[in-house]
Structure 1
Amino acid sequence: MTEQYKMTVDLNVLDHLGINLYSNIAAVLTEAVANAWDADAETVEIRIDPDAQWIEIEDDGIGLSIDDMNAKYLRVGYRRRDEDPEHGRVTAKGRPVMGRKGLGKLSLFSVAKVIEVQSAKDGASHGLRMSVEGIEASVQRKELYYSPTPLADDAITVTKGTRIVLREINRQRLGKSVTALRKRLARRFSVIGEAHRFKILVDGHPISTDERGDLPVVQFLWSLGDSEIELGSAKGLLEREALSDRLDAWDTDWRVTGWIGTAGQPKQLDSEDAGNLNGIVVFARGRLFHENILDKLNDGRLYTKYLTGQIEADFLDADDQPDIATSDRQRVQEDDPRYIQLIAFLKSRLAQVEKRWSEWRRKHEVEKAKETSPKLAEWLDGLNPGLKKSAETLISKLSALPVDDEEDRKVLYRHGILAFERMQLRGSTEELARHVDSVEKLLTILADRDSLEASLYRDIVKSRLEAISEFKSLIDEDAKEKVLQKYLFDHLWLLDPGWERATDSPIMESRLIEEGIFTDDMTKKEELGRVDIAYRTNAGKHIIVELKKAGRKMRLLELQEQGQTYVDKLRKILAQMGRTSPDIEVVFVLGKTVDEEISNPERLKSSMAAISPGSRIRHYDELIQGAQEAYSAYIEKTKKLDKLEDIVNGI
Structure 2
Amino acid sequence: MTPRRGRGRNVAARQKPAASAAPEPPAAAAPSAELLPDDDGHLYSMTVDLSVLEALGINLYSNAAAVLSELVANAYDADSTLVAIDWKNHGSKVVVADDGAGMTRQELNDRFLKVGYKKRLTEGLVSPRWERPYMGRKGIGKLSVFSIAETVTVYSTKDQTSNGLQIKVPALEEAIRAGEPYHPLPVNVPKEYARRGTVIVLEDLKHKRADLTATALRKRLARRFDVLHQTPPEEGGFYIAIDAKNITYADRQELKKLEFVWEFGEDRMPGEVLPTGITRFDLPDTVSSSEGWKVRGWIGTARRPTDLTDDEEAGSLKNIIVLARGRPIQEGIIEKLDFSRIFGNYVTGQVEADFLDLDGDYGDIATSDRQRLIEDDERVIALQKFLREAFVKASDQWSEHRPKKEAQDVLGRFPALKDWVEARPTGQQEAAKTMIGTIAALALEKKTEAADRATLFRSGVLAFERIGLRDTAAQLGRLEELGGLQAADLLPLLGSQEAYEAGLWVDILRSRVEAISTFRSITRSDEKEKVVHKHLFDNLWLLDASWERASVGGKMEENLRDIHPGLFARGEQGDEITGRIDIRYATSSGRHVIVELKRSSARPTVTDLQTQGLKYFNALDSILEQRQRPDRDIEVIFVLGTPPRTPTKTSRQTADEHIHDMLKGMNGRYVLYEALINNAEHQYQEYLEASDKARDLDKLMASLDQAESE
**TM-score class, shorter:** 0.5 to 0.7
What does 1:52-67 align with in structure 2 at a 5 Å threshold? 52-67=91-106
1:560: which partner in 2? none
1:399: which partner in 2? 440
Do residues 326 (structure 1) and 326 (structure 2) align?
no
Tell me how far 1:121 sits from its aligned partner: 1.0
Tell me how far 1:452 sits from its aligned partner: 11
Do residues 370 (structure 1) and 411 (structure 2) align?
yes
Q: 2-side partners of 1:210 and 1:468: how far apart?
A: 57
SS in 2 for 1:414: helix
Deviations 1:245-283 (A, max 9, x none): 114x43353111112222233332232221222222211
TM-score normalised to structure 2 length: 0.59
User: Counterpart of 1:19 in structure 2: which amino acid?
Assistant: I
User: Counterpart of 2:151 in structure 1: which amino acid?
Assistant: V
TM-score normalised to structure 1 length: 0.64
Tell me how far 1:423 sits from its aligned partner: 5.6
2:211: which partner in 1? 175
SS in 2 for 1:334: coil
Q: 2-side partners of 1:95 and 1:457: how far apart?
A: 71
Do residues 415 (structure 1) and 459 (structure 2) align?
yes
SS in 2 for 1:410: helix
User: Counterpart of 1:191 in structure 2: which amino acid?
Assistant: V
**Measured at CA, do residues 78 and 396 of structure 1 come closer, stay the same or move farther in structure 2, by a change above 3 Å?**
same
Q: 1-side partners of 2:186 and 2:523: how far apart?
A: 83
Superposition RMSD in Å = 3.6
Q: Is the 8 A contact 1:376 1:647 kept in 2?
A: no
**Measured at CA, do residues 118 and 354 of structure 1 come closer, stay the same or move farther in structure 2, by a change above 3 Å?**
same
Do residues 96 (structure 1) and 149 (structure 2) align?
no
Deviations 1:513-560 (A, max 9, x none): xxxxxxxxxxxxxxxxxxxxxxxxxxxxxxxxxxxxxxxxxxxxxxxx
**Measured at CA, do residues 409 and 12 of structure 1 come closer, stay the same or move farther in structure 2, by a change above 3 Å?**
closer
2:186: which partner in 1? 150
2:152: which partner in 1? 115
Tell me how far 1:119 sits from its aligned partner: 0.5
1:340: which partner in 2? 381
Q: 1-side partners of 2:415 and 2:208: how far apart?
A: 54
Q: Is the 8 A contact 1:80 1:89 kept in 2?
A: no
2:401 is matched with which residue: 347, 360, 371?
360
Q: 1-side partners of 2:367 and 2:127: how far apart?
A: 22
Tell me how far 1:193 sits from its aligned partner: 4.2
SS in 1 for 2:224: coil
What does 1:242-261 align with in structure 2 at a 5 Å threshold? 242-247=282-287, 249-251=288-290, 253-261=292-300
Q: 2-side partners of 1:120 and 1:273: how far apart?
A: 35
Tell me how far 1:230 sits from its aligned partner: 2.0
Q: 1-side partners of 2:313 and 2:511: how far apart?
A: 38
User: Counterpart of 1:300 in structure 2: which amino acid?
Assistant: S
Tell me how far 1:308 sits from its aligned partner: 2.0
What does 1:526-541 align with in structure 2 at a 5 Å threshold? none
Q: Is the 8 A contact 2:91 2:211 kept in 1?
A: no
* Structure 2 unpaired stretches of 5+: 1-46, 472-501, 529-533, 539-676, 701-710
2:21: which partner in 1? none
1:272: which partner in 2? 312
Q: 1-side partners of 2:113 and 2:301: how far apart?
A: 44
Q: 1-side partners of 2:214 and 2:132: how far apart?
A: 28
Tell me how far 1:156 sits from its aligned partner: 8.8
Do residues 32 (structure 1) and 56 (structure 2) align?
no
**Measured at CA, do residues 276 and 453 of structure 1 come closer, stay the same or move farther in structure 2, by a change above 3 Å?**
farther
Tell me how far 1:373 sits from its aligned partner: 3.3
1:186: which partner in 2? 222
Tell me how far 1:67 sits from its aligned partner: 1.6
What does 1:530-569 align with in structure 2 at a 5 Å threshold? none
Q: Is the 8 A contact 2:403 2:440 kept in 1?
A: no
Report which stretch shifted further, 109-118 or 76-85: 76-85
Do residues 165 (structure 1) and 201 (structure 2) align?
yes
Q: 2-side partners of 1:65 and 1:424: how far apart?
A: 81
Report which stretch shifted further, 74-83 or 300-309: 300-309
Q: 2-side partners of 1:39 and 1:255: how far apart?
A: 27
Q: Is the 8 A contact 1:54 1:168 kept in 2?
A: yes
Q: 2-side partners of 1:374 and 1:275: how far apart?
A: 38
Identity of aligned residues (%): 38
Q: 1-side partners of 2:518 and 2:152: how far apart?
A: 64
What does 1:491-506 align with in structure 2 at a 5 Å threshold? none
Q: 2-side partners of 1:131 and 1:392: how far apart?
A: 66
**Measured at CA, do residues 93 and 412 of structure 1 come closer, stay the same or move farther in structure 2, by a change above 3 Å?**
same
Do residues 214 (structure 1) and 254 (structure 2) align?
yes
* Structure 1 unpaired stretches of 5+: 1-7, 428-450, 478-492, 498-631
Q: How many residues align?
A: 464
**Measured at CA, do residues 137 and 422 of structure 1 come closer, stay the same or move farther in structure 2, by a change above 3 Å?**
same
**Measured at CA, do residues 471 and 49 of structure 1 come closer, stay the same or move farther in structure 2, by a change above 3 Å?**
farther
Report which stretch shifted further, 23-32 or 185-194: 185-194
Q: 2-side partners of 1:112 and 1:459: how far apart?
A: 65
User: Counterpart of 1:165 in structure 2: which amino acid?
Assistant: V
Tell me how far 1:331 sits from its aligned partner: 1.5
**Measured at CA, do residues 246 and 20 of structure 1 come closer, stay the same or move farther in structure 2, by a change above 3 Å?**
same
**Measured at CA, do residues 467 and 328 of structure 1 come closer, stay the same or move farther in structure 2, by a change above 3 Å?**
farther
Deviations 1:393-432 (A, max 9, x none): 32112122356775764332111122334466789xxxxx
Do residues 18 (structure 1) and 57 (structure 2) align?
yes
1:83 is matched with which residue: 122, 133, 152?
122
Q: 1-side partners of 2:517 and 2:117: how far apart?
A: 74
1:262: which partner in 2? 301
Tell me how far 1:211 sits from its aligned partner: 0.5
Q: Is the 8 A contact 2:337 2:385 kept in 1?
A: no
Q: Is the 8 A contact 1:127 1:156 kept in 2?
A: no
2:168: which partner in 1? 131
Tell me how far 1:473 sits from its aligned partner: 5.5
Q: Is the 8 A contact 1:224 1:258 kept in 2?
A: yes
Tell me how far 1:64 sits from its aligned partner: 0.7
Q: 2-side partners of 1:327 and 1:391: how far apart?
A: 54
Tell me how far 1:187 sits from its aligned partner: 0.6
Q: 2-side partners of 1:139 and 1:60: how far apart?
A: 33
What does 1:345-494 align with in structure 2 at a 5 Å threshold? 345-381=386-422, 383=424, 389-401=430-442, 409-422=453-466
Q: Is the 8 A contact 1:118 1:156 kept in 2?
A: no
SS in 2 for 1:274: coil
Tell me how far 1:469 sits from its aligned partner: 7.2
1:432: which partner in 2? none
Tell me how far 1:68 sits from its aligned partner: 1.1
Tell me how far 1:372 sits from its aligned partner: 3.1
Q: 1-side partners of 2:335 and 2:198: how far apart?
A: 38
Report which stretch shifted further, 314-323 or 457-466: 457-466
Tell me how far 1:164 sits from its aligned partner: 0.4
Q: 2-side partners of 1:340 and 1:16: how far apart?
A: 27
**Measured at CA, do residues 370 and 52 of structure 1 come closer, stay the same or move farther in structure 2, by a change above 3 Å?**
closer
User: Counterpart of 2:388 in structure 1: which amino acid?
Assistant: K
1:572: which partner in 2? none
SS in 2 for 1:16: helix
User: Counterpart of 1:346 in structure 2: which amino acid?
Assistant: L
**Measured at CA, do residues 645 and 472 of structure 1 come closer, stay the same or move farther in structure 2, by a change above 3 Å?**
same
Tell me how far 1:284 sits from its aligned partner: 0.9
Tell me how far 1:354 sits from its aligned partner: 1.6
Do residues 69 (structure 1) and 108 (structure 2) align?
yes
Q: Is the 8 A contact 1:126 1:156 kept in 2?
A: no
Do residues 304 (structure 1) and 340 (structure 2) align?
no
Q: 2-side partners of 1:318 and 1:299: how far apart?
A: 28
2:699: which partner in 1? 650
Q: 2-side partners of 1:347 and 1:377: how far apart?
A: 38
